[in-house]
Amino acid sequence: MTPLIIAIDGPAAAGKGTLAKRLAARFGLPHLDTGLLYRATGRRVLDAHGDPADPATAEAAARALRPEDLARADLRGPEADAAAASVASIPAVRAALLDFQRDFGRARGAVLDGRDIGTIVFPDAPAKLFVTASAEARGLRRWRELAGRGLAADLAEVTAQVRQRDAQDAARAAAPLRQAADALLLDTTELDADATEARALALLRERRGIVPPG
Ligand code: CDP
């Protein structure tokens, strides 16, 4: 039997990561937050005082990534967000990170979340969710996340940064953020984490006949 791939894509702070972790636990699958690959690449460039928009520098950083880079504590925050989106728009960076993502999923199935999982990384995945929410709801979630880490920020500014990164992710030529034709749309604007998980499980069961084991 082919191992199950659950592809979760969507804009920034839509709740992809929380949902991905919960579905991974339900289905007994490993989880890969693919945003971490781009975040860690951007961080390596920043560490070396390089320009995240420079293709050669960013590609070298992507090729030099080590598993421990993904566990770094400084991969989130406005500077890391912007560096991740910059390196992610470079085709050579995306190419350098593709095999790792495919190997991760092929081994024993996986839940992967990102921007291009259902369109590029695993276009044949049987289970694809496109998770979104209003920009206001997503800005508020990101603002709360920052507050929870003790980082004071301005809500309007955080919401503007979320919108700006979505626009950049959607407009780029390389693997732009978009809903795959066969992805199930899940709007989490009015849903908390429990309700989002319940809705995702219902969509997978009713529309794809996919249910957790046991
Ligand atoms: O957590 P959040 O939704 O804010 O972002 P993320 O999923 O960690 O992704 C950070 C950035 O990496 C995004 O803004 C994209 O530019 C890029 N990314 C991508 O291009 N493709 C992916 N599969 C995952 C992330």
Domains and CATH numbers, the chain: 5-207 (3.40.50.300)
Average pLDDT score, the chain: 96
Kindly list the distances between the CA atom of residue 50 and the CA atoms of 55, 61, 143, in Å, as whole numbers in the listed order.
11, 10, 28
Average pLDDT in the 194-200 region? 98
Q: Is the pLDDT of residue 133 over 90?
A: yes
The reply to whether ligand 1 has any atom less than 6 angstroms from the CB of 166 is no
Instruction: Summarize the confidence of residues 95-118 as an average pLDDT.
Output: 97
The pLDDT score that the predictor gives to residue 48 is 96
Residue 116 CA to ligand 1 center (angstroms) comes to 9
Please tell me the residue having the least CA distance from ligand 1 atom 7.
35
User: Which amino acid, residue 89?
Assistant: S
Distance, CA of 140 to CA of 77 (rounded, Å): 14
pTM: 0.96
